[in-house]
Amino acid sequence: MKKLSLLALLSAAAVTIAGCGAKAQTAEYFGKTEPPSGQEMRYITGSEPESLDPQVSTGQPEARVYLALYEGLTEYHPVTGEAMPAIAERWEPNADNSEFTFHLRHNARFSNGDPITAGDFVYTLRRGLAPALAARAAYLAYYIKGAQAYNEGRGRAEDIGIQAIDDFTLKITLTQPLPFLDGLMAHQFFRVLPQKTIEKYGDAWTEPAHIVTSGAFKVETWRHYDRLILVRDPMNWDAARVKLDRITFYPLEDVTTMMNLYKAGEVDAVYNHTVPYAWVDQIRHLPDYMDKPEVAIEYYGINTTKPPMNDLRVRKAFNLAVDKSALAEYRRVVKPLTSFTPEGIFPKYPRPTGDGFDPQRGRDLLAEAGFSGADGKFDPSKFPASSLEILYNTTESNKQTAEFVQAQWKQNLGITIPLKNMEWKTFLDERAKLRFSGFSRQGWIADYMDPYSFLDLFSTPTGENGTGWFDPKYKAMLEEANRQPDPQKRYELLAKAESYMLEAQPIVPLWTSGSDWLKKPYVKGMYSNPIILHPWKYVYIEHDRSKWNSDPLPAITSN
């Protein structure tokens, strides 16, 4: 009897699962496709926002919300992710890109109706850099003159290179040429904040009862760990263009729950990298699936300070022995990567190719490095494989990748490198302090749309990049490139620096990430841009089914 009821239950479950799978494969879309009645968007944004203060929190879940709540001098283009005008109507750099003048529109307002002027931007930057605020993203402003000194408690706020020439003209002076400053200004850290409200309420200024915002939407309710509801802000200078009346952000972390909610039609879109690996094949051919390269990469950092990985030949050998194309095929939603900047993102950037797949050369290099038998050929038994490890933070997906790479090395070099997984924060600590031998998982999402956002990672001597590799010559090459006023010439110099870094092989590049998210066919104006941040004012719900198959380009803000 006992056996029987258990069996009955299991077979019922099996039938349901099988039935469900079969249905999804033949369906036109994934799950229910009933649009919400009005212009209302329900979106899953990732973990619970740390705060609604864009200078205090640094995560992507918050960044997605800030695009609705705050506006900066510039904004991310909904399709390309590049800078486009926002509160600044236009801007011009000086001859060597070390000084930018922004011209602000005259009708920009905060949600309480107060006008937004150049002075508000000056306040915002000074506040973000104040040591007492301890903003974690403050380093992004270090390119601005006097910013680092003030943030370190050495300088004065008045000496920061930001100046309100008049109410609607803002001048930013930099420590070095920075052609991509306009892209950087779209980052949440630089989005304009209400001085009066912050000074009146202190830390409590972000509470729904007090908060004043500068974006196309404003806060209606915030129920922690439940939902954050934003509504259209009639005060916004571009309110006429805003189509959605309301956006509900759900803070959620469990990917299966997200998929369930999406399938049941309880949400209209989910953020990136959310489709579980096991579901990809079932979903990827449906129009719901958003799959474009993202300005993000995955790689293994090598601890270059410990033997045998302090030998360049050994590092090169391990990179040569991983078939990146096979890995990409295995991971399904990514593109193979052999360089340090992502593939297919910066079309004009002459991205170096790096070393490809060549296991024979890898074995030769290892033999050269002294791991050879009597015949002079590489002998795997001579290599201290057990002293190394592939370190990663515990997730199913990281484990699969590590096992794949491990198998590649086993197959191509005859070496088995042990795997080691750790809880997230423990892993970060271990990696930052270089307490591992061999390889550690790393990923990077650009802060702004420029190859420099990647290359800059290796320009500090502190070993924070998790490899211990630093070369002053590399840093000098980057600086020289940034001094170059001609954008194409600058790209060429940056690519040269990237080649130089790849030659030193502090990393094993793995892949360019795929965006990997879902949206219902009735959600329009939301594109799979490389930075996966959506300016919400262009998003709308299309109730006319006949238009579901087209994805019209947005009418972009003009001056």
Partner 1 sequence: MLRFIIRRLLVTVPMVLVVVSLTWGLIRLAPGNFYTGEKPIPAPILKNLRDKYGLDKPWYVQYGKMISNTLHGDFGSSLKYQGQSVNTILKSALPVSATIGFLAYVLALTVGVTFGALAALRQNSQLDYSSMALAMVGISLPNFVLGPLLVLVLSLTWYVFPPALWGGASHLVLPVLTLSGLYMAYIARLARAGMLEVLRSNYIRTARAKGLSEWRVITRHALRGGLLPVVSFSGPALAFLLTGTVVVERIFALPGLGNYFINANLNRDEPLIIGIVAFISIAVLVFNLLVDIAYGFLDPRVRYS
We find the least distance from the C-beta atom of residue 261 to partner 1, in angstroms, to be: 5
Q: What is the CA radius of gyration of the chain?
A: 25
CA distance 469 to 453: 18
We find the least distance from the C-beta atom of residue 268 to partner 1, in angstroms, to be: 14
C-alpha dihedral, 390 to 395 to 399 to 400, nearest 10°: -140
Triad 521, 522, 523: Cα angle to 5°: 95
We find the least distance from the C-beta atom of residue 126 to partner 1, in angstroms, to be: 15
We find the least distance from the C-beta atom of residue 136 to partner 1, in angstroms, to be: 6
The residues, any chain, with a CB within 8 Å of residue 489's CB and separated by 6 or more, are none
Nearest to partner 1 of 183, 251 (CB atom): 251
Nearest to partner 1 of 113, 202 (CB atom): 202
Nearest to partner 1 of 6, 165 (CB atom): 6
We find the least distance from the C-beta atom of residue 533 to partner 1, in angstroms, to be: 16
Given the rule CB under 8 A, which residues bind partner 1?
A: 1-2, 4-6, 9, 13, 16-17, 19-20, 31-32, 47-48, 50-51, 53, 56-59, 131-136, 138-139, 142, 148, 151-153, 203-204, 206-207, 223-227, 250, 252-254, 256-257, 260-261, 263-264, 266, 423-426, 428-430, 432, 443-444, 460, 462, 464-466
Give one DSSP letter per residue of 201-256, joined into a string: HGGGGGSTTT----SSEEEEEEETTTEEEEEE-TTSTTGGG---SEEEEEE---HH
Backbone angles phi, psi at 150, to 5 degrees: -65, -40
133 burial class (0-12, 13-18, 19+ CB within 10 angstroms)?
A: middle
Nearest to partner 1 of 130, 239 (CB atom): 130
Nearest to partner 1 of 430, 492 (CB atom): 430
We find the least distance from the C-beta atom of residue 62 to partner 1, in angstroms, to be: 11
We find the least distance from the C-beta atom of residue 364 to partner 1, in angstroms, to be: 35
Give one DSSP letter per residue of 313-345, joined into a string: HHHHHHHHTS-HHHHHHHHSSSEE-SSSSPTTS
We find the least distance from the C-beta atom of residue 526 to partner 1, in angstroms, to be: 21
Nearest to partner 1 of 6, 553 (CB atom): 6
Pairing of strands 419-422, 389-393: parallel
Nearest to partner 1 of 116, 198 (CB atom): 198
We find the least distance from the C-beta atom of residue 210 to partner 1, in angstroms, to be: 10
The residues, any chain, with a CB within 8 Å of residue 423's CB and separated by 6 or more, are 393, 394
546 burial class (0-12, 13-18, 19+ CB within 10 angstroms)?
A: exposed
Collapse the DSSP code of 118 into the 3-class scheme (helix H, G, I; strand E, B; otherwise coil) and give the result.
helix
Q: Which residue type occupies 519?
A: K
Q: Which residue type occupies 202?
A: G
We find the least distance from the C-beta atom of residue 154 to partner 1, in angstroms, to be: 9
Nearest to partner 1 of 222, 500 (CB atom): 222
We find the least distance from the C-beta atom of residue 385 to partner 1, in angstroms, to be: 26
The residues, any chain, with a CB within 8 Å of residue 31's CB and separated by 6 or more, are 24, 262, 263, 264, 265
- The verdict on whether omega for the bond into residue 308 sits within 30 degrees of 0, i.e. cis, is yes
CA distance 117 to 217: 19
C-alpha dihedral, 254 to 255 to 259 to 261, nearest 10°: 20
Nearest to partner 1 of 147, 415 (CB atom): 147
Give the residue among 337, 321, 437, 338 at the shortest CA–CA distance from 390: 437
Nearest to partner 1 of 256, 386 (CB atom): 256
The residues, any chain, with a CB within 8 Å of residue 387's CB and separated by 6 or more, are 437
Give the residue among 186, 54, 59, 184 at the shortest CA–CA distance from 127: 54
We find the least distance from the C-beta atom of residue 416 to partner 1, in angstroms, to be: 27
The residues, any chain, with a CB within 8 Å of residue 66's CB and separated by 6 or more, are 54, 188, 191, 215
Nearest to partner 1 of 84, 507 (CB atom): 507
Nearest to partner 1 of 384, 424 (CB atom): 424
